[in-house]
């Protein structure tokens, strides 16, 4: 069942095309990773999903309802945090949850507020005002607000922002728990691509407002096409001979280092080619990861 | 809607800023009351200099009713600025804080949010006015006692019997609530335009000061626009304290000299409130939440 | 010359003698007033001054011999002509420190009244000259005009009813000249009030009156000094 369906959505701010003809679908139970560099349009898209921004064109359906015409009904089933965890500094964590519980038609009991505090690890700081919280704690409280009414769809924009490694791990586990154990659909964006790699079942890569790729993570990351980072005795000379030869098609444009997207069986041939050109190969590092896939796609577009 | 109002009221009354206005009003009133208690007779003598040349005024002129009138004259010029402090921050403050996107992604329409916030800000305004009424009227009545209201206007004196005063204050406070709600709605309009706290607060205060100056200047050029300025009408609560006289120059107890003026002012203020709030709703509905 | 001086002195003596002599009509009026040692008069007061808007108010007038007088509004603020109230007929005549000059008769409201002028013989008294219009038959004073040292001139007109036997009026009208009244807008905070000028015009009448209509007198039942 399709939870989110985005059809040819564009958003223009004057001459700037923040999102340009974007279409994608998120199915129930998926952890959908939303990837893109800063300014790629992912926050704009997320805001359009939450009707914070009106699309210039196109349509968005969530749970089969148009977000424009059935906004309140749709938002009742969504929990979200968008970018920074901005909260009221003069209120405590518990007050935040109590307050936001009033805005939901579902009855939220005080015990479920306490459960949420435990879920996001703020039970010991429940009485403290948010102005005394670290960014990580605010982020966790933001997630707590998003989860409070037990929504079917959770949209988390950069949820690991400002968290320490333990916090990041906790959030990752929480998202996986929500999807696997509670059957929630999660749309998560992050600039930490390795996080998405570990959490998401599906990804969408957005670049300059356009979709570059989307699909199941296993399909997108082709194990037969490896990205390698090579270290040679003379990188400048190696780059010259690669550019001049048949391996130039595999070369990825990077600011530093030599990266190639190359079938794994051609690595010995590359080694031989470099030796023949008088360049010694010191190290070949295989990086068949989402980050490399992402960088490969975006560098090609650049 | 009810949920939004209680949500907003909770926030308003948990914010330290809210109590600045309550504190400022209390401080101003107490200082003025103290001054008049200690040295009020010389103030009254100064006011009654011309009258005392001809007449002997016997009775408690400086009573709670007159003190309240003096306080309202002084404060109802400044209270709008205190109202602006909260009203003009209701939307833009949240935009600045970043919480607006949290609110607008809840299952309520933006119209509901703006109206809910306006109602909450209006309740705050009215509570502030009740606080003002309590201190200015009831505390003054308690401290200074009551008697007839001997009102010295610029060109004449009105003597209102004490049993004819209290309802006039009720009327004046109801009128003042319309005046202050106009400020609240103006603050709201400003708040819907900007994404920061300071701009709309300063903007609202500046607009009030600017239009008040236009309203008070007796320059023929401005007289044309004066009737349409809300600031011209905001001070007309005073009309409750002017009384009709019959052909024998006897004041008619329970009468108001210019009821039509009060009605017109209430209508002009109401139109302003509706226009300001409707515009705030329109702007908020149309705008993209980018903060 | 000597003859002339005798004539002048004789005339002066005659004049002095007639000045100091208390007029029999005043005696008659005083006799009537002497019946009242004290009173509390209850009535309605109307203040009619161009720049004052005041409603009718209930008042009590307290009097005690020889010249104690107080007007008190029944729980409220009262506006009375400055110094004028104390110069009612009782207070004027009870001092007994004056000379009278007969000034003929005058018809007032269809009544022929004897006009007498009173000149105080005590410098400490507040008034300089007073004119009384007296009905010689009823021995009732219908009008007084008093010029005071400090508070200008006042006219008091009286009408009589049920208490005429005691010389107590049923209605007293104090008339006096008023001065300009104006408070700066900066003090009243009445800015931009365009109607004010028009109102001022309408209230240009410079004559003020305070009217007390009595409906009851409590006579000689004792009034405490603390009332004054």
State the CB neighbour count (10 A cutoff) for residue B11. Answer: 21
Min Cα distance C43 → chain B (Å) is: 16
Q: Are C115 and C137 a contacting pair, CB within 8 Å?
A: no
Q: Establish if A220 belongs to a structural domain.
A: no
Residues A100 and A188 in one domain: yes
C83 touches chain B (CB under 8 A): yes
A260-269, C15-24, C75-84: segment of lowest average pLDDT: C15-24
* pLDDT tens-digit series, residues A52-99: 898 999 999 999 899 888 888 899 999 998 877 889 999 999 999 999
pLDDT at A231 over 50: yes
Give start and end residues of each alpha helix (H) in B88-109.
92-97, 100-104
Residues A81 and A173 in one domain: yes
Band the pLDDT of B203: cuts 50, 70, 90. Answer: very high
Measured between beta carbons, which residues in chain B are less than 8 angstroms from residue A90?
14-16
Q: Are A259 and A292 a contacting pair, CB within 8 Å?
A: yes
List phi, psi (to 5°) of C139: 55, 45
Residue of C nearest to B51 (CA): C181
Question: What distance in Å separates the CA atoms of residue B62 and residue A133, rounded to the nearest whole number?
Answer: 54
Q: Bigger pLDDT: B107 or C183?
A: B107
- What tokens were used for A68? 């424009």
Residues A232 and A191 in one domain: no
Q: What is the CATH number of the domain that holds A80?
A: 3.40.50.300
Write down the pTM of the prediction.
Answer: 0.81
Domain count across chain A: 2
* pLDDT tens-digit series, residues A151-161: 999 999 888 87
B22-26, B40-44, C194-198: segment of lowest average pLDDT: C194-198
Q: Mark which of A214, A233, A258 sits at the end of a domain.
A: A214
pLDDT at B252: 87
Residues A37 and A78 in one domain: yes
Residues A194 and A265 in one domain: no
pLDDT at C72 over 90: no
Residues A276 and A205 in one domain: no
Q: What's the average model confidence in pLDDT over B238-245? A: 89
* pLDDT tens-digit series, residues B127-143: 999 999 999 999 999 99
Per domain, the residue ranges of chain B are: 2-286
Element (H, E) at B37: helix B18-47
Residue-by-residue DSSP string for A151-201: -SEEEEESTTTT--HHHHHHHHHHHHHHHHTT--EEEEE-S-HHHHHHH-S
pLDDT at C12: 42
CATH number of C23-227: 2.50.20
Band the pLDDT of B4: cuts 50, 70, 90. Answer: very high
pLDDT at C6 over 70: no
CA distances from B85 to B125, B205, B279 (A): 11, 9, 20
Residues A198 and A279 in one domain: no
Q: Closest Cα to residue B152, out of B66, B64, B217, B76?
A: B66
Element (H, E) at B175: helix B166-193
User: What number of C-beta contacts closer than 8 Å exist between A and B?
Assistant: 74
Instruction: Express as a percent the part of chain B with pLDDT over 70.
Output: 100
Q: Closest Cα to residue B67, out of B144, B147, B166?
A: B144
Q: Give me the residues paired with residue C169 across strands.
A: C160
List phi, psi (to 5°) of C149: -70, -40
* pLDDT tens-digit series, residues B148-169: 898 888 888 888 988 899 999 9
Tokens 């969530």 correspond to: A62
pLDDT at B119: 95
- What tokens were used for A195? 């996080």
The complex scores an ipTM of 0.81
pLDDT at A92: 94
Min Cα distance B290 → chain A (Å) is: 8
Question: What distance in Å separates the CA atoms of residue A21 and residue A210, rounded to the nearest whole number?
Answer: 7
B226: left (phi over 0), alpha (psi -120 to 50) or beta: alpha
pLDDT at C11 over 80: no
| Geometric angle at alpha carbon A230, from A256 and A227, rounded to 5° | 90
pLDDT at C17: 41
- What tokens were used for B205? 């205060």
C209 touches chain B (CB under 8 A): no
Which one-letter DSSP state was computed for residue B194? -
Q: Bigger pLDDT: A297 or A40?
A: A40
Q: What's the average model confidence in pLDDT over B56-73? A: 88
Q: Bigger pLDDT: A130 or C224?
A: A130
Residue-by-residue DSSP string for A15-53: TEEEEEEEEEEEETT-EEEEEE-TTSSHHHHHHHHTTSS
Residues A142 and A123 in one domain: yes
A225-229, B75-79, B87-91: segment of lowest average pLDDT: A225-229
Residues A147 and A80 in one domain: yes
Q: What is the CATH number of the domain that holds A282?
A: 3.30.70
Min Cα distance A130 → chain B (Å) is: 13
Q: Mark which of A214, A241, A259 sits at the end of a domain.
A: A214
CA distances from A129 to A43, A263, B6, C120 (A): 28, 55, 20, 85
Q: Closest Cα to residue C151, out of C171, C179, C124?
A: C179
Measured between beta carbons, which residues in chain B are less than 8 angstroms from residue C71?
58
* pLDDT tens-digit series, residues A257-295: 888 878 878 888 888 899 998 999 898 887 656 666 776
Residue-by-residue DSSP string for B198-265: HHHHHHHHHHHHHHHHHHH---HHHHTTGGG-HHHHHTGGGGGG---B-TTSBB-TT--TTHHHHHHH
* pLDDT tens-digit series, residues C177-205: 777 777 777 777 776 555 554 454 445 55
Residues A110 and A247 in one domain: no
Instruction: Express as a percent the part of chain B with pLDDT over 90.
Output: 47
- What tokens were used for B189? 């309009």
Question: What distance in Å separates the CA atoms of residue B269 and residue C65, rounded to the nearest whole number?
Answer: 61
Band the pLDDT of C55: cuts 50, 70, 90. Answer: confident
Residues A204 and A129 in one domain: yes
List phi, psi (to 5°) of B260: -60, -35
* pLDDT tens-digit series, residues B112-122: 999 999 999 99
* pLDDT tens-digit series, residues A142-192: 989 998 998 999 999 888 877 788 878 888 888 888 888 888 999 998 877
Residue of B nearest to A97 (CA): B7
Nearest CB to B54 within list C56, C179, C188: C179
Q: Establish if A162 belongs to a structural domain.
A: yes
Q: What's the average model confidence in pLDDT over C123-128? A: 82
Q: Bigger pLDDT: C7 or B144?
A: B144
Burial readout B126-148 (b: 16 or more C-beta within 10 A, e: otherwise): bbbbeebbebbbebbbeebebbb
Which pairing describes strands A153-157 and A185-189: parallel, antiparallel, or unpaired?
parallel
Helix B110-133 × helix B259-286 angle, to 10°? 140
What is the residue-averaged pLDDT of chain B?
Answer: 89
A16-20, B66-70, B75-79, B177-181: segment of lowest average pLDDT: B75-79
Q: Bigger pLDDT: B90 or B56?
A: B90
pLDDT at B281: 94
pLDDT at A119: 86
Nearest CB to A53 within list B7, B14, B289: B289
Min Cα distance C154 → chain B (Å) is: 11
Q: A119: which residues sit within 8 A by CB, 6+ positions away?
A: A144, A147, A174
Q: What's the average model confidence in pLDDT over B6-26? A: 90
Strand order in the sheet with A57-62: A16-27, A2-13, A57-62, A65-66
Per domain, the residue ranges of chain C are: 23-227
Nearest CB to B108 within list A13, A72, A88: A72
Q: Closest Cα to residue B215, out of C196, C184, C198, C191?
A: C191
Q: Bigger pLDDT: C167 or A113?
A: A113
- What tokens were used for C137? 């038959």
Nearest CB to B101 within list A52, A76, A88: A52
Domain range enclosing A260: 225-301
Q: Bigger pLDDT: B285 or B59?
A: B285
Q: What's the average model confidence in pLDDT over B25-32? A: 93
């Amino acid at each position: 069942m399709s939870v989110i369906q985005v059809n040819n959505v564009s958003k223009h701010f004057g001459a700037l095309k923040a999102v340009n003809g974007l279409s994608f679908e998120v199915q129930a139970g998926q952890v959908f990773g939303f990837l893109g560099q800063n300014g790629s349009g992912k926050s704009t898209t997320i805001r359009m999903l939450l009707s914070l921004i009106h699309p210039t064109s196109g349509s968005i359906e969530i749970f089969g309802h148009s977000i424009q015409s059935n906004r309140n009904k749709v938002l009742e089933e969504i929990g979200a945090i968008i970018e920074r965890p901005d909260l009221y500094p003069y209120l405590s964590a518990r007050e935040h949850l109590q307050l936001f519980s009033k805005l939901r038609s579902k009855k939220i009991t005080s015990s479920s507020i306490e459960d949420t505090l435990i879920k996001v690890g703020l039970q010991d700081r429940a009485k403290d005002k948010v102005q005394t919280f670290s960014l990580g704690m605010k982020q966790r409280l933001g997630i707590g607000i998003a989860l409070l009414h037990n929504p079917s769809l959770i949209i988390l924009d950069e949820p690991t922002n400002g968290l320490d490694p333990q916090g990041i791990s906790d959030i990752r586990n929480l998202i996986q728990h929500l999807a696997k154990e509670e059957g929630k659909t999660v749309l998560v964006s992050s600039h930490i691509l390795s996080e998405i790699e570990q959490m998401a079942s599906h990804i969408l890569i957005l670049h300059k407002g356009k979709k570059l790729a989307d699909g199941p993570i296993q399909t997108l990351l082709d194990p037969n096409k490896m990205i390698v980072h090579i270290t040679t005795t003379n990188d400048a000379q190696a780059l010259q001979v690669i550019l001049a030869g048949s391996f130039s098609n595999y070369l990825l444009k990077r600011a530093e280092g030599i990266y190639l997207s190359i079938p794994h069986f051609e690595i010995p041939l590359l080694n031989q080619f470099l030796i023949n050109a008088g360049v010694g190969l010191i190290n070949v590092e295989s990086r068949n990861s989402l980050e490399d896939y992402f960088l490969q796609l975006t560098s090609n577009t650049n | 809607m009810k949920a939004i109002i209680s949500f907003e009221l909770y926030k308003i009354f948990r914010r330290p800023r809210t109590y600045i206005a309550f504190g400022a009003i209390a401080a101003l009133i107490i200082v003025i009351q103290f001054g008049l208690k200690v040295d009020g007779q010389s103030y009254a003598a100064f006011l009654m200099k011309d009258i005392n040349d001809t007449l002997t005024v016997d009775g408690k002129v400086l009573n709670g009713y007159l003190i309240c009138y003096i306080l309202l004259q002084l404060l109802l010029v400044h209270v709008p600025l205190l109202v602006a402090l909260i009203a003009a921050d209701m939307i833009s403050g949240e935009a600045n804080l970043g919480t607006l996107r949290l609110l607008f992604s809840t299952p309520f329409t933006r119209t509901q949010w703006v109206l809910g916030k306006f109602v909450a800000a209006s309740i705050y305004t009215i509570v502030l006015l009740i606080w003002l009424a309590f201190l200015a009227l009831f505390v003054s009545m308690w401290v200074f006692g009551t008697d007839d209201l001997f009102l010295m206007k610029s060109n004449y004196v009105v003597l209102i019997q004490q049993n004819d005063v209290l309802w006039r204050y009720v009327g004046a406070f109801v009128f003042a609530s319309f005046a202050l709600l106009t400020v609240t709605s103006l603050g709201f309009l400003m708040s819907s335009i900007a994404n920061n706290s300071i701009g709309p607060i300063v903007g609202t205060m500046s607009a009030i000061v600017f239009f008040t100056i236009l309203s008070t200047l007796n320059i023929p050029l401005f007289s044309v626009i004066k009737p349409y300025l809300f600031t011209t009408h905001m001070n007309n609560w005073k009309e409750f304290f002017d009384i009709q006289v019959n052909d024998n120059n006897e004041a008619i107890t329970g009468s108001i000299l210019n009821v039509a003026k009060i009605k017109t002012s209430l209508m002009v203020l109401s139109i302003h409130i509706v226009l300001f709030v409707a515009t705030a709703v329109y702007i908020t509905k149309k705008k993209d939440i980018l903060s | 010359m000597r003859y002339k001086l005798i004539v002048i002195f004789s005339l002066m003596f005659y004049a002095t003698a007639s000045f100091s002599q208390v007029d029999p009509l005043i005696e008659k009026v005083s006799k009537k007033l002497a019946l009242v040692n004290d009173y509390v008069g209850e009535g309605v007061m109307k203040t009619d001054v161009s720049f004052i808007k005041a409603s009718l108010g209930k008042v009590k007038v307290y009097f005690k011999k020889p010249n104690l007088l107080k007007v008190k509004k029944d729980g409220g603020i009262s506006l009375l002509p400055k110094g004028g109230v104390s110069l009612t007929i009782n207070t004027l005549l009870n001092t007994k420190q004056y000379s009278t000059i007969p000034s003929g008769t005058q018809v007032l409201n269809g009544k022929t009244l004897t006009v007498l002028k009173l000149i105080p013989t005590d410098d400490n008294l507040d008034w300089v000259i007073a004119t009384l219009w007296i009905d010689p038959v009823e021995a009732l004073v219908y009008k007084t005009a008093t010029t005071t040292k400090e508070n200008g001139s006042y006219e008091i007109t009286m009408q009589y009813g049920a208490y005429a036997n005691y010389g107590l009026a049923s209605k007293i009208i104090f008339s006096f000249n008023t001065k300009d009244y104006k408070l700066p807008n900066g003090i009243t905070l009445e800015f931009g009030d365009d109607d004010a000028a028009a109102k001022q015009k309408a209230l240009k009448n410079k004559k003020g009156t305070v009217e007390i209509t009595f409906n009851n007198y409590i006579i000689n039942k004792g009034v405490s000094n603390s009332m004054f």
